[in-house]
């Protein structure tokens, strides 16, 4: 992972003149920036040699002129530019990037967007600086990321628990980490294994009434359990928005359809093709036995229809919980 390589170099005092950190996923941008801010200079050196600028309050000329200063009574100076996506004519950074000052560490936080890779400034930054694009994780990558995060902290998490978190916390790593740290802080004693029960107790995500359990109930055609869950959702709509539920169900049933279409149904190959934890292959096998390919195609079409209805298309009066009940009925019958 690129951020680990950057942190490793920083720990070994291998510095680059410019760190251009960009992309929709802001978590790693903050990790690298915070490390530089805390560790490159001593507390005494920071007074004169560490400067924080904000994109909405500065311009590219100010950034360049500040970066061209020499450090005072220190080997380096650190210039951190936050919200750099708000700076006009950011491409003019090329005038500095072509011949940067080696004693300066210029850290550019260019969040939620990325430089055009065809631009000359991008190619120049590649030559003698650090430029990294951090893209949003895909939904199916989040459970593995959560497991990896806990592993680095000396914890483990059950596969169903990591999926429970992933399907309720979204793909923002910063938001996910906030919740994971709550679990780490509140987990006491020698047992460092995170379970659905611990998640329910400390974060408030129900281990029995969530989208992950709804998928399992639909996969088994467990009509009673599926209806119990959507009735729970109807009472807790703030945390169970229909658009999110439909999106996750769409992804789930596409995977069940792909299970049908995959010739090599060995657990390892299915896990690879569907991009799921091998732990859940059995669940998809059960679902595939309950739904024919024709039925799955109709379900996927229905999910598209109800996604539009949940956004007000061809729907004048049906409430969100009413739509969800209709949808689940059509899936199961």
* DSSP sequence for 48-84: HHEEEEEGGG--HHHHHHHHTSPPSSSS-EEEEEETG
Measured distance CA(201)–CA(88) in Å, rounded: 47
Q: How confident is the model at residue 189 (pLDDT cuts 50, 70, 90)?
A: low
From the options 3.40.50.80, 1.10.10.1100, 2.40.30.30, 1.10.8.60, give the CATH code of 139-203: 1.10.8.60
Run of H or E including 108: strand 104-111
Q: Are 31 and 3 within 8 A, CB to CB?
A: yes
List own/partner pairs for 8-12 with CB under 8 A and 24 or more apart.
Answer: 10/35, 10/36, 10/39, 10/40, 11/39
CATH class of 2-133: alpha beta
Share of the chain above pLDDT 90, in %: 74
Contact 260, 288 (CB under 8 A): yes
* Range(s) within the chain of domains with CATH label 1.10.8.60: 139-203
The tens digit of pLDDT for each residue in 84-99 reads 999 999 999 999 999 9
Sort strands 193-194 and 104-111 into parallel, antiparallel or unpaired. Answer: unpaired
The pLDDT of residue 319: 87
Residue 318 pLDDT grade (very low, low, confident, very high; cuts 50, 70, 90): confident
In the chain, where does the domain assigned CATH 1.20.272.10 lie? 211-332
Asked if pLDDT for residue 69 goes beyond 90, the answer is yes
**Binning pLDDT at 50, 70 and 90, where does residue 200 land?**
confident
Q: Each residue of 112-146: pLDDT tens digit?
A: 999 999 999 999 999 989 999 999 998 889 999 99
Q: Which pLDDT band holds residue 203 (cuts at 50, 70, 90)?
A: confident
Start-end ranges of CATH 3.40.50.300 in the chain? Answer: 2-133
Q: Given this model, what pLDDT does residue 138 score?
A: 86
Kindly report the average pLDDT of the chain as a whole number: 92
Specify the higher pLDDT residue, 237 or 323: 323
Q: What angle, 0 to 180 degrees and rounded to 10, lies between the N-to-C axes of helices 159-169 and 142-152?
A: 120
Query: Quick one: pLDDT band at residue 52, thresholds 50, 70, 90?
Result: very high
pLDDT of 168 reads 84
Q: How far apart are CA 312 and CA 219, in angstroms?
A: 28
Q: Which fold has domain 211-332?
A: Zinc Finger, Delta Prime; domain 3 (1.20.272)
Would you give the DSSP letter of residue 19? E
Average pLDDT over residues 239-256: 90
Q: Is 271 helix (H, G, I), strand (E, B) or coil?
A: helix
Residue 280 has pLDDT above 70, yes or no: yes
C-alpha torsion sign, points 32, 36, 39, 43: negative
> What is the pLDDT, as a whole number, of residue 188?
66
Burial class (CB in 10 A: 0-12, 13-18, 19+), 117: exposed
Tell me the pLDDT tens digit for each residue of 23-37. 999 999 999 999 999
- 3-state DSSP call for residue 129? coil
220-245 residue pLDDT tens: 999 999 999 999 888 887 777 888 89
Which of 48-52, 154-158, 204-208 shows the lowest per-residue confidence on average (mean pLDDT)? 204-208
- 39-43 CB contacts, 8 Å cutoff, 24+ apart: 39/10, 39/11, 40/10, 40/15, 40/76, 40/78, 40/105, 41/74, 41/76, 41/77, 41/78, 42/74
- For residue 284, give the H/E element and its range: helix 281-290
């Amino acid at each position: 992972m690129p951020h680990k390589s950057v942190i490793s170099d920083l720990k070994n005092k291998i510095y680059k003149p410019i760190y251009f950190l960009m992309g929709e996923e802001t978590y790693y941008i903050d990790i690298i920036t915070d490390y530089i801010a805390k560790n490159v200079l001593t507390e005494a050196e920071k007074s004169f040699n560490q400067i924080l600028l904000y994109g909405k309050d500065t311009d590219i000329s100010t950034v360049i002129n500040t970066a061209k200063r020499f450090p005072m009574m220190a080997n380096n100076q650190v210039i951190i530019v936050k919200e750099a996506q708000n700076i006009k004519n950011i491409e003019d950074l090329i005038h500095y990037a072509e011949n940067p000052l080696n004693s300066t560490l210029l850290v550019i936080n260019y969040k939620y967007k990325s430089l055009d890779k065809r631009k000359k400034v991008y190619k120049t930054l590649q030559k003698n600086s650090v430029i990294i694009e951090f893209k949003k994780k895909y939904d199916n990558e989040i459970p593995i990321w959560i497991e990896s995060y806990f592993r680095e902290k000396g914890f483990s998490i059950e596969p169903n628990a990591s999926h429970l978190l992933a399907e309720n916390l979204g793909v923002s790593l910063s938001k996910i980490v906030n919740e994971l740290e709550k679990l780490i802080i509140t987990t006491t004693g020698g047992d460092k294994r995170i379970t659905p029960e611990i998640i329910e107790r400390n974060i408030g995500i129900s281990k029995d009434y969530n989208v992950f359990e709804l998928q399992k109930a639909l996969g088994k055609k467990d009509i009673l359990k599926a209806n119990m869950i959507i009735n729970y959702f109807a009472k807790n709509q703030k945390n169970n928005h229909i658009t999110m539920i439909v999106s996750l169900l769409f992804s789930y049933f596409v995977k069940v359809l792909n299970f049908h279409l995959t010739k090599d149904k060995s657990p390892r190959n299915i896990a690879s093709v569907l991009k799921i934890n091998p732990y859940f292959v059995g669940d998809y096998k059960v679902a595939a036995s309950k739904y024919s390919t024709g039925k799955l195609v109709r379900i996927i079409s229905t999910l598209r229809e109800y996604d539009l209805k949940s956004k007000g298309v061809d729907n004048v009066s049906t409430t969100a919980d009413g739509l969800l009940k209709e949808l689940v009925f059509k899936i199961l019958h």
